Amino acid sequence: MSTIPTTLPFEELAEAIKGRRSDYGHISGLQLDRFAPAEAWSSLPYRPVFVGDTETGVLHGGVVTAMLDESCGMAVQLALDGTRAIATLDLRIDYQKPATPGLDIKAHSVCYRTTRSIAFVRSTAYQDSEDDPVATATACFMIGANRTNMLADRRMDARSIPVLEAPEDPDGPFARSPFARALGIRVNDDGTLTMPFSPQIIGNPILPAIHGGMTGAFLETTAVIGVARELGTAAPPKPIGLTVNYLRSGRALDTFANVSIVKQGRRIVAFEARAWQDNAEKPIATAFGHFMLRPTPGSDDE
C-alpha cells in the first residue's frame, strides 16, 4: 500500500482522481476533462455497447445513471482532501430527453455543500449544451464510508482492464439491449432478474464492491422488464425519473432484483424495485420511479 500526505494539494488530488477512479469508470472510458474545487466536467465517449435499444440507437438509461453517479463522486472528491473514502447514499435521476445516438455525453457536477460526514451534489448530463440537458441528478454521499482510499491504495494496470462486450443473444429478452447483455443480466423463471458479479461492474476495487451506478442500472433494467411484462405492453416503458437508495455495499456476489407496480394510470406508472444478494430480506438498494406508457383506452388518466 502506498503512502500519501495527510492531505493532497489540489492539483495532485485532481490527477489522482483522473488515474484512480472506479474500475467501471476506466472500462467505460469516462474522462475527467476539467476540474475546479468541488466541480467536475466529465465526458463519456459514445460506444455501441452502451445502447439500450438497437432499433432507435438510444443509450441505455443505466449508462447515464452510472456516468452521473461517478461524475458526482468526482465532484465530492474535489471538494475534499483525498484522504477519505466516499460512498453514494442516494441518487435521483430525472430524464429530460433521450440522448442523441452517436454523440458523446458530457456532465457537469457540483458538490455544493459538505458537512462532517455528508456531501450534497447536483449534476447535469448533456451533449451539445448544458442548457439542453439529457438528464439531471441530485445525490448525497457519505464521507469516510470505509477505511479504503482509492486515490492512494491502488492504481489500475491498463493491461488488466477488462473489455465491455455484449455477446449476441438474438432470442433472449435483451436481444435489442447491448448494455443489458454486457452486464450479463438474465431473467429468471420466477420473474426476478440476476446480474452476475464480474470485473466489469466493480466500483471500489479494494473492497471490492459493485459500482453504485451498475446497481442503479440493474434496478432500472429490472423495472423496465418487469413493468412491461406485468402490463403486457409490447414497447418498453420510458423512464421519467428514478431515485436509488443505497442501503448496503454490493459485494463481489451475484445480485438479484424484482419490481412491483405501486400505482398505474393510463399514461404513468409508479414502481418500486429492490436488489439483494444473499438475503432477500436485506436489500443492498431500492429504487422508486416513474415510467411513461402508451395511452391505454379505458384506464384512469394521470
Q: For the domain that residue 87 is a member of, what is the CATH number?
A: 2.40.160.210
Nearest to residue 69, comparing CAs of 21, 103, 33, 102? 21
| pLDDT given for residue 86 in this prediction | 92
Q: Could you say which DSSP state residue 199 is in?
A: G
Query: What's the burial of 165, exposed, middle or buried (CB within 10 Å: 0-12/13-18/19+)?
Result: exposed
Number of domains in the chain: 1
Q: Give a yes or no: residue 232 inside a domain.
A: yes
Q: Give a yes or no: residue 47 inside a domain.
A: yes
The CB-based long-range contact list for 48-53 (8 Å cut-off, 24+ gap) reads: 48/178, 49/164, 49/165, 49/166, 49/178, 49/179, 49/182, 50/178, 50/179, 51/101, 51/177, 51/178, 51/179, 52/177, 52/178, 52/179, 52/180, 53/176, 53/177, 53/236
In this prediction, residue 160 has a pLDDT band, given cuts at 50, 70 and 90, of low
Q: Give a yes or no: residue 155 inside a domain.
A: no
Q: Give a yes or no: residue 133 inside a domain.
A: yes
Q: Give a yes or no: residue 279 inside a domain.
A: yes
| pLDDT given for residue 287 in this prediction | 98
Q: Give a yes or no: residue 120 inside a domain.
A: yes
Range of the domain at 263: 10-146+166-292
pLDDT digits (tens, 9 = 90+) for 97-146: 999 999 999 999 999 999 999 999 999 999 999 999 999 999 999 999 88
Kindly report the number of other CB atoms within 10 A of residue 52's CB atom: 27
DSSP string, 263-295: EE-SSEEEEEEEEESS-TTS-SEEEEEEEE---
Q: Please state the pTM of the whole predicted model.
A: 0.91
Q: Give a yes or no: residue 4 inside a domain.
A: no
- Name the average pLDDT for the chain: 90
Q: Give a yes or no: residue 101 inside a domain.
A: yes
